[in-house]
Structure formats: C-alpha cells, structure tokens
Structure 1
C-alpha cells in the first residue's frame, strides 16, 4: 500500500514540474544564452496629442524597434494625450514605477535646478544649437542628478520646439500684454516670464487649455506651433506672435528599478530605440514647422513677427529671470555660458 502511495506521489510531483515548465512562457533565452529574459510590457506616457511628432515617432520608431530588437520579449503600449494623467501625474507614475516610461518636459526642475536651464528665455538660437547642446556632453551634465534624486534614467532628449504666443487679439508690442490672460505651465520660469511682460498668468495643465480658450477663461497660451496644430487650439484662436521666446525640450525617461529588471540585450533595445525615435522626432518637428504654419494660416490664423525693437523689449524684460536664477543657483552660471557659447 505504501509503495502505491509513494508511486502516486512521485508521478504527481513529476507532472507538477512538467506543467510548471510548460507554463513559463514569459521567459526567453537572451542572445548570450546565459540569462532568461522575462517578457515585459512597457507603458510609455506623454501629454501630446495623437498626431504630434512625439507620438508619430513613438509609433513609427520606438515601438517597432523595441519589439523587434528584443525578440518579442518587450511589448510597448503608448498612452498619449494625458491618458495616464497630466504631466506631473505621469511623471510621478514613472518615478514610483506604476508607469515604466514617459516623455515629460522639465517638470522635475523644482527639485533639480539644472533641468530648468534649457527653458530659460531666449537661451537657444535655433534647432541646431539646441540639439548640439542637449544631445552632447552638456546634455548629460544637465541630467546627471536625475537617477539619484528621482529614480529615473534619462535615455534621450527630444524636442517640443520654440514657443510662440497664440491669442484672440494681435500682440505687436509689449503694451499689448497688459491685462492679457495668458495660460502657462505651472513652472516658475514660465510664470516669471509671463509676468515680466505684464501678462496675467494663469497656470493650468495642457489637457485643460482648449476648454479655457473656448470659454474665454484665458485670452491665449504659448506653445510651439506643432502643439497648437495637433491640439486643435487654432479653432479658438486668431493670432500667433512668433516670439520664439523659449525652447522646450522633452526627455525619454524610464523607471530605474524597472530598468534593472531588464537583461543587457533588452536595455540595449530600449536605449537604441529611444535615441532613434528622439532623433526622428527632432527631424519631424523642425521640418514640419513651415508646414504647420501654412496649415494654421489656411485655418485663418494671422502670424506676427516681432520687429527688432519688440524682440529687445521682450529679452530685456526677461533678464531679471537670469539674475534671480544665478542668485539661487550660482554654480549654474558657467554651464549656461557654455551653452550660449555653442551657438554658431
């Protein structure tokens, strides 16, 4: 009797091991043949509209490259248009690991002052200047504290573009900003810049901008024209001031604890795909600027290019922002001067 029970127990154990082995479909052998690569789904969040170059690059470059070069062990899900929350919410989600990746702007600058530098007013001359700085050693210096302080790894710099002011009235001089209700992100540099021009600044998330413009809660907003087009704000605006007052970058970030779970091959696939997608997005954004302007003009928007006097007025009004920034962060002055020196 005991022999029979022992035999049954042995068969049960063997069957259990066999079933267990067949059920481990979430592993795959890495290229090295030494490590089993678990399969993962990467949620990547951003606040851009579906047809913005950021999401075009994610769909056409990042997702297919990651899935192909990881041999199917990584799957990518794109959550555009603040579907996983506004910028602060999805950034916090990447920090705490509920979201694997994201493409925020400089939302982290409150804790990491160097990350405020790229959005100082009138810092970058053109796209070439911005990309040279951010994609090189100076860009790495800017992001050096991200992993230690916020638990996220920066994989690539991408671009939002040069910001311009859209409005329901023409703005042709500094006086026109007086009493103007201007939506801006809830970021100190932005708010200080709007106030320096004399505007009444109203901070709000990007997801609320269309309704605020439509209901005339605000008179205008400032963003690159790719965002103006992709978000449909041209339906409730009449004018664009080509101020190009600030360059807005974005960063591809990944939760560091999630990153450490990946095999070296998987990490390589994600990092290379991030850089390829970011490069493609830079290309699309710059190339499409003229196309976007033409589209908006066809929709009835009137563009106003500030003359030299107006430009100098805007720049002079913004200078105290630099002085205040240096007071709070004296060690950044040398880095900012290096960035300015890269303009050619």
Structure 2
C-alpha cells in the first residue's frame, strides 16, 4: 500500500486516484498504451486507481499541464508546451532534428531526456517516460509540392514561438489556435491546413475536411508522461517503482504502436480520398535550408545548443 508523508507521519494512500489527462483521441496510441499497460499495471500492483481523460476533457494542453504543476491533476501526457518556461524543453522539436523513430526513442529515453528532465522537475513535475507523438506532416486543402505553394497558405500551428517560426520560415501565413478549434477552422476555411503527425490527423478526424498531405516530416513531436512532483515524491518507494514500471511498459507499447500504425494510417488516408505527396530531394533540401536562420539564432542564444546538437549528430553518425 502506498503512503503519503504529512508532517512526519505516514498516511495510507489506498484511495489515491491518478487522473491522466491528454488532448489525444481515445483510440490514439497514446491513450491505448495508458489504458492497456499503465492502468492495469498500477491497479494490479498497488492500491492506486487510474482514470483516463482523453480528448482535452480536462482542458487544453496548457490548462491540464498547469493542472499537473499545481497538483489538481496527478498526471498528463504532455507535449513540449513547457518550453515557454524553459527553452531546453523544446529542443526535441527543433526542425529536422531526428531522422527516424529508433533514433528519437534512443535519444529521448537516453542522453537528450537526461539533459531535459531536470528542467521539468524545476517546474514541479516528474518526467516518467518519453513517448512519441510522431513526425509532423502538413495536411491541406490543396497540394503542396514546392516552396512556392506555401506562399499565402493559411497554416494553423500550436501557439509556441518555435512552431510559428518554422511555419513562417517556409513562407506560410501562420495562425495559432488550440487543438479543439482545428476541425471547425479547417472545415470553414479559416485556415487552409495544419501540421501534426499522421496519427493525430487521422484519429482527430481532420482528414475529413482536408484533401492533401505533404509528408514533410519537418519536426518530431515527442510527448512525456508528467506527474505532479509533490504527489510522486510523497508516494512510497514501492509505489514509485510501480509508477516507473507502468510508465516504461506503456512507453514501449506506444512507440511500437506509432511505428506500426504509420503506413496503415497513410493507406487509410489515401482510401479516404486524400492525396499523399512525398517531397522530392530538392524540395526537402529547400525546407531544411529554410530552417538555418532558426538554428543560427538558437546557437547564438543558448550556450548549451552546440553541445546538444553535437550529441545528436554523433549518435546519427555512429
């Protein structure tokens, strides 16, 4: 049985319920892994209970991540939104940083994650495991096959400075909005397209109001299981081990689901009538080159940037 230490005394935590919030659809690999691995392991190895809140039902990402920081929510599947408080948290999303899932998983649940995890703890949350949202692509209401096609393109991006800069560097007219606003904005033509991994595009149903996909893979979006640090620190050592093992099992399942689902989802999008375009080498290189000013600024601004980039490059070459 877990215990919480309060004023030097141990109180049984048999009735503790861990609320897990996310913006993902219920059948997205993120929620599937929490439901099939994290929840049953925790509930069978401790007295704690797990309740899952998908689809932004506890608020948008900013709201529920703040809830985890304050303790009103015990746990969340969070993106890198806290980079607004510490730019190191946004490093994994730097454009064209990772080449494939294996590299991203080994770096995030390895040297890159180890560099970033202390930044999370300073913000009042305990990082339990790094998971995959996936490589981001552009969906659109018309074909994008060149840099010129981004000109005048109304692109929805998350309300994060890095994302806005990436979209603007490509030449798009960037508009920021929350996840819950995306479908009606696409449907009504408020924006022409958006960027997200294929799984999010499909599971959220946005493909219903889009006609094209550009497999740009311009950014890799990770997620991280975050738990309120005070809640985690006050668990017994045994219950902490249960949380760690449950997180590890869910993490491994989620990465595999993302790998396995990518091609399947692409075929489903094609079957639904969407045209999927893979950029040619020249177009790809032009998109990469457009990101260079962003990298130049970051390397001048952050004294850790060169070291971290070299760490990723060395792993890529090895």
Per the normalisation by structure 1, the TM-score is 0.88
Q: SS at the partner of 2:134?
A: strand
Q: Which residue of 2 aligns with 1:140?
A: 114
Q: SS at the partner of 1:48?
A: coil
C-alpha separation in 2, matches of 1:114 and 1:236 = 35
Q: Which residue of 1 aligns with 2:261?
A: 288
Q: Which residue of 1 aligns with 2:128?
A: 155
Q: Which residue of 1 aligns with 2:58?
A: 84
C-alpha separation in 1, matches of 2:176 and 2:80 = 15
Match runs of 1:82-231 below 5 Å? 82-148=56-122, 150-231=123-204
Q: Which residue of 2 aligns with 1:244?
A: 217
- Tell me, yes or no, if structure 1 residue 41 matches structure 2 residue 14: no
Cα deviation 1:8-35 (Å, max 9, x = unaligned):
xxxxxxxxxxxxxxxxxxxx588xxxx7
Contact 2:216 2:279 in 1 (8 A): yes
Q: Which residue of 2 aligns with 1:266?
A: 239
Residue 170 of structure 1: how far off its partner (Å) = 0.1
Contact 1:37 1:263 in 2 (8 A): no
Residue 279 of structure 1: how far off its partner (Å) = 1.0
Cα deviation 1:222-243 (Å, max 9, x = unaligned):
1100001100011000000000
Residue 140 of structure 1: how far off its partner (Å) = 1.1
Q: Which residue of 2 aligns with 1:322?
A: 295
Contact 2:2 2:235 in 1 (8 A): no
Q: Which runs of 5+ in 2 are unaligned?
A: 4-9
Residue 37 of structure 1: how far off its partner (Å) = 3.7
C-alpha separation in 1, matches of 2:160 and 2:2 = 46
C-alpha separation in 2, matches of 1:340 and 1:130 = 12
Moved over 3 A (4+): none
* Cα distance change, pair 38–325 in 1 and its aligned pair in 2 (3 A): same
RMSD: 1.4
Contact 2:2 2:238 in 1 (8 A): no
C-alpha separation in 2, matches of 1:340 and 1:238 = 36
Contact 1:166 1:237 in 2 (8 A): yes
C-alpha separation in 2, matches of 1:138 and 1:255 = 21
Per the normalisation by structure 2, the TM-score is 0.95
Q: Which runs of 5+ in 1 are unaligned?
A: 1-27
Residue 137 of structure 1: how far off its partner (Å) = 2.7
Match runs of 1:295-334 below 5 Å? 295-334=268-307
Q: Number of aligned residue pairs: give it.
A: 311
Q: Which residue of 1 aligns with 2:6?
A: none
Residue 124 of structure 1: how far off its partner (Å) = 0.2
C-alpha separation in 2, matches of 1:331 and 1:230 = 36
Q: Judge which range, 218-227 or 110-119, deviates more.
A: 110-119
Largest Rg, 1 or 2: 1
- Tell me, yes or no, if structure 1 residue 50 matches structure 2 residue 23: no
Cα deviation 1:30-65 (Å, max 9, x = unaligned):
8xxxx7641200001011111100000011001001
